[in-house]
Amino acid sequence: MAYTNLSKKLAVAMVTLAVACAHALAARDLVDAAAMAQRHERWMAKHGRAYADDAEKARRLEVFRDNVAFIESVNAAASQHKFWLEENQFADLTNAEFRATRTGLRPSSSRGNRAPTSFRYANVSAGDLPASVDWRGKGAVNPVKDQGDCGCCWAFSAVAAMEGAVKLSTGKLVSLSEQQLVSCDVKGEDQGCEGGLMDDAFDFIIKNGGLAAESDYPYTASDDKCATAGAGATAATIKGYEDVPANDEEALLKAVANQPVSVAIDGGDRYFQFYKGGVLSGATGCATELDHAITAVGYGVASDGTKYWLMKNSWGTSWGEDGYVRMERGVADKEGVCGLAMMASYPTA
Ligand SMILES: *[C@@H]1O[C@H](CO)[C@@H](O)[C@H](O)[C@H]1NC(C)=O
């Protein structure tokens, strides 16, 4: 019958179409898979990465593919959110792996329990502050360091703030030892590569009578035993430290206008993992789960009028803007973008 014939023809046509489509899809997947494998190979060569075996390589390729898809989707909308990402040296790490080894803030309850410290910049008039500040231009910031596979961001943040305070009080910029904090500041909250807190680092430095020079106590990115002989000689010290009143970006501005400041952030997500440039904003979905520490070394206004904080990180210079990240400043949330105004502090020298 005509009807049966027609429906038979239609059915055949649909099957043909479906097969053709499946074929086309499969072919494209194969091309994409080959292209992605090649891209992964090129990335491995660029970053000197080698894997133990083919299984590990296949697993890493999957992670790489997933990260590339994320990076490309964020960059496709870069005009909306003013920052962009890059397939950087962390592109074969899952975010959980990245977070476990590259962050390392251990927010303790101790700060919440103790009385607030004094705040020496309380009476600075916000209206008198410069429109932009960059402590790098004043010689108060050492080159960006790299914490490697060790969750001791807290030590790098504390040391960078201390290096700034020491420069401002003595006129000399010295590079100080994070490793001494990682290895020797282990009797309290701070636990080396397993995390710590800047204020506890400042406490240790004060009790220790200072901190060794980086060159005398070099960084190993591991929980090595505390070395006393030879490495103990202190190169600089601090007198105390103060907390910036919490959840107050204006108070933070007064402090950063006067010296580099240690800052805690919710900064372990994939936006941070792959940040390359621009001004990071709350569009990333970061919140207030403080898990990373960096150092505010200035602030300014981008060409499009976006106000930002200039933050020094400790993930090497190929990450972000030569190792720095700009984060949006003056937002409606009192905690600041990614909680940056929640737990800031600085040493006094
Ligand atoms: C700020 O000014 C008030 C009132 O004059 C004064 O009591 C307070 O000690 C000042 N704080 C600082 C940190 O100078």
Of the residues 61, 80, 99, the one at which a domain ends:
80
Closest C-alpha residue for ligand 1 atom 4: 123
- pLDDT tens for 26-72 read 566 667 899 999 999 999 999 999 999 999 999 999 999 999 999 99
CA dihedral in degrees (141, 255, 82, 92; nearest 10)? 50
Beta carbons of 277 and 71 less than 8 angstroms apart = no
Mark whether 313 is an active-site residue. yes
How close is the Cα of 118 to the center of ligand 1, in Å? 10
Q: Are residues 91 and 124 in the same domain?
A: yes
Q: Are residues 63 and 206 in the same domain?
A: no
CB count within 10 Å of CB 256 equals 27
Say which CATH number the domain at 288 has. 3.90.70.10
Q: Which atom of ligand 1 is nearest to the CA of 120?
A: 13
How close is the Cα of 199 to the center of ligand 1, in Å? 23
Query: Which residues, given as ranges, of the chain have pLDDT below 50?
Result: 1-22
Q: Are residues 318 and 174 in the same domain?
A: yes
Of the residues 41, 63, 80, the one at which a domain ends:
80
pLDDT at position 1 is 39
Beta bridge partners of 311: 296, 325
Q: Are residues 96 and 60 in the same domain?
A: no
- Residue of 296, 298, 328, 295 lying closest to 314 (CA atoms): 295
Q: Are residues 144 and 8 in the same domain?
A: no
As a three-state string, the secondary structure of 273-285 is HHEEEEEECHHHC
Bridge-based pairing state of the strands 261-265 and 292-301: antiparallel
Beta carbons of 276 and 268 less than 8 angstroms apart = no
Question: What is the per-residue DSSP string for 30-87?
Answer: HHHHHHHHHHHHHHHHHTT---SSHHHHHHHHHHHHHHHHHHHHHHHTHHHHSEEE--
Q: Are residues 71 and 87 in the same domain?
A: no
How close is the Cα of 170 to the center of ligand 1, in Å? 26
Q: What is the pTM of this model?
A: 0.90
Residues composing the chain: 349
Q: Are residues 161 and 264 in the same domain?
A: yes
Q: Are residues 192 and 220 in the same domain?
A: yes
Closest C-alpha residue for ligand 1 atom 8: 123
Closest C-alpha residue for ligand 1 atom 5: 123
Of the residues 21, 48, 80, the one at which a domain ends:
80
- Residue of 120, 163, 132, 131 lying closest to 262 (CA atoms): 163
Beta bridge partners of 224: none
Total structural domains within the chain: 2
pLDDT at position 233 is 85
How far is residue 240's CA from residue 348's CA, in Å, rounded to a whole number? 5
Q: Give the structural domain span for 301.
A: 83-348
Ligand 1 pocket test, candidate residues 123, 242, 348, most atoms within 8 A of CB: 123
pLDDT at position 80 is 86
Looking at 153, 184, 193, 286, which residue is catalytic? 153
Mark whether 153 is an active-site residue. yes
